A and B are shown apart, each in its own frame.
Chain A
Amino acid sequence: MTRSMKNNKGPGRRVIPGFGVSLGVTLTMVSLVVLIPLAALAINALQLSPGEFWAAVTRGRVLSSFAVSFFSAILAALINLAMGVLLAWVLVRCDFPGKRMLDGLIELPFALPTAIAGITLTSLTVPGGWIGRVFAPLGLKIAYTKVGIVVALVFVGIPFVVRSVQPVLEKLDGSFEESAFLMGADNWHTFRRVIWPEIRPAALTGFGMALARGLGEYGSVVFIAGNKPYATEIAPLMIMGQLQSYDYGGATAIALVMLAASFLILLLMNIVQARAARRTSG
């Protein structure tokens, strides 16, 4: 784990031509599609006085909804990271009947409209449902609890980690693993020493995307959450509530806080990922 790649920014900087055009196109698109709308949002929120703004985002229910959203999104993203890497590895390295079918299902959570996903997951996990039936005798309630929120967020986030890691694994030569394995390393060691360093940037990207998506997810969660104040209300629901009372100021204020938080999380992810990439490429 050397840090010798710092000279990346040295003499080799911008040797590759086309910087102007590439940056130009990228900046134009980012401004048009992302910056302008979000700026409009910020301007709208800042029309509130600081006092009003503060009051809107620090009400007890709003604060607890922030906590629920962040906690569930982080937990779901962690589960997705673990299971996603595993699924990707299984899809690339193992052969079993129905594999192609499984591979094809990975995008299902995206194609299914979020409301239908929410309704489906709720029906499966209520105590009488196909999955809930198994857990109900153990005393574990899934639907209408925080567990349900995490389940919904795991579902909507599955494709991110799997699809980020899969191409990297495919590029990776399987024989490394094989030789490590033959030399007596157990699965866990092979994974930690041989596979993980290679897929880390991709896995982190997937993790970040799943986390980000989880923070903002609304459609599927409202069906499974139960939406009980102080317990299972998520932040996007609070925004929706404000909108339905035509309180644009209050809605945009909460939105702005969520936005700032996600920007920070994503920035952090990008910095971590850049480090990871620098290490592996070195």
Chain B
Amino acid sequence: MKKNRVVLLEALLLVLALCLGGCGGKEEGKTLSLTNVSYDPTRELYTEYNALFTAGWEKTGGKPLTITQSHGGSGSQAISVSQGLEADVVTLALEADIRAIEKAGLIREGWRGELPKDSAPYTSTIVFLVRRGNPKGILDWPDLAREGVGVITPNPKTSGGARWNFLAAWAYAQETLGGGEEACRDFVGAIFRNVLVLDSGARGSTTSFVENGQGDVLIAWENEAMLTLQQHPGEYEMVAPSISILCQPSVAVVDEVVDKRGTREMATAYLEGLYAPETQRLVARYFYRPSDPDILQEFADSFDLSIRMTNIDHFGGWGQAQQRFFADGGVFDQIYEK
């Protein structure tokens, strides 16, 4: 009797263990599959592109294809892929994240040269979003360092996208103040001391600024600023600073995964398709700047093409920029040291 009960309980545990194991063992059918691991605000863009690509793929005689999308914070997504998330292609917010996957040994060196335009099929830039009528008269970076101006930006430590914000401010300081690193640090430091809420991600910052009414100016990616303008017509205005930076969300084929799964050809075609004129027009509709200059011209009404932009090479590439500005004890940390 007593024994029986023990056996019963053990059997129950065993069944549960099998349940746990069984859940993972599902096999895909005969259709082809492709996984695109991307970052947050690109879900609808890729939903539309996937339909486009799948249709084209099947029309040219390819087997039926399903594309699985994955979206999350760019840095977290890079960690996932490095740790075994089977992505055929990654389409992340910044090169540094793809470099991390490269370092983990999943992507071959030199991926940045394999596709046109530094492997960035669409770009964006950093702009300011201010409240209607621009009550604080915010026109350029020095206005953000003024006393009494409340600034909202995500934290460059936790948000990859926000590192572009920081670098854009830095680029301005470098160009206009002429001084050395110290002068730049003071200037950017003054801006960050005006920061009221240092959210962990870009979306959080937008919520703080829009939904919760915090601050006078939001430093944001142009595509997110335009999305906000569209969702709240007439309530906000976009201001372009005199100097900004070219944000390049990078894409790459994950070599180890495509070689293992035999999907290299398809994955490459998928990324190359992002540069096709039709797709370039599609990304413009989602407020990203097409990297094809001719198509960008077609959208000259939507984008302010006069913004002067520096780029990451100005900072010696992401490897150096990351180390110098955002590593522990780097420039960003020094700004806050007391």
Contact = CB atoms under 8 A, between A and B. Distances in A.
Question: Do the two chains touch directly in the complex (Cβ atoms below 8 Å apart)?
Answer: yes
Interface of A: 21, 25, 56, 59-61, 119, 122-123, 126-129, 143-144, 222-223, 226-230, 237, 240-247, 250
A60 B198 contact: no
A245 B322 contact: yes
Contacts of B331: none
Interface stretch (B29-37, B116-124, B199-207): B199-207
A123 B200 contact: no
A129 to B, nearest CB: 8
Interface string B52-70: 0000000000000000000
B284 to A, nearest CB: 29
Contacts of B204: 222-223
Interface of B: 6, 13, 73, 75-76, 78-79, 100, 103, 155, 157-160, 195-200, 204, 207-208, 211-214, 322, 326-329, 333, 336-338
A226 B196 contact: yes
Contact of A230 (B79, B158, B200, B336): B336
The majority secondary structure among interface residues of chain B is mixed
Best-buried of B79, B208, B322 by chain A (most CB within 10 Å): B208
A227 B156 CA distance: 12
A205 to B, nearest CB: 26
Contacts of B13: 25
B336 A246 contact: no
Contacts of A227: 155, 197-200
A6 B232 CA distance: 69
Contacts of A126: 212-214
B71 to A, nearest CB: 14
Contacts, number: 80
B157 A244 contact: yes
B198 A122 contact: no
A176 B160 CA distance: 61
A115 to B, nearest CB: 9
Nearest to B199: A227
A226 B79 CA distance: 25
Given A222-B199, A227-B199, A227-B200, A61 B158 contact: no
Contact of A245 (B103, B157, B197): B157
A240 B196 CA distance: 20
B331 to A, nearest CB: 13
B196 A144 contact: yes
Given A126-B214, A241-B155, A226 B336 contact: no
A21 B200 contact: no
Contacts of B211: 119, 123
A224 to B, nearest CB: 10
Contacts of A25: 13
Contacts of B75: 243-244, 246
19 contacts: A56-B328, A59-B328, A61-B336, A123-B212, A128-B212, A128-B213, A144-B214, A223-B199, A227-B155, A230-B338, A241-B157, A243-B75, A243-B76, A244-B157, A244-B159, A245-B326, A245-B328, A246-B100, A246-B103
A56 B333 CA distance: 13
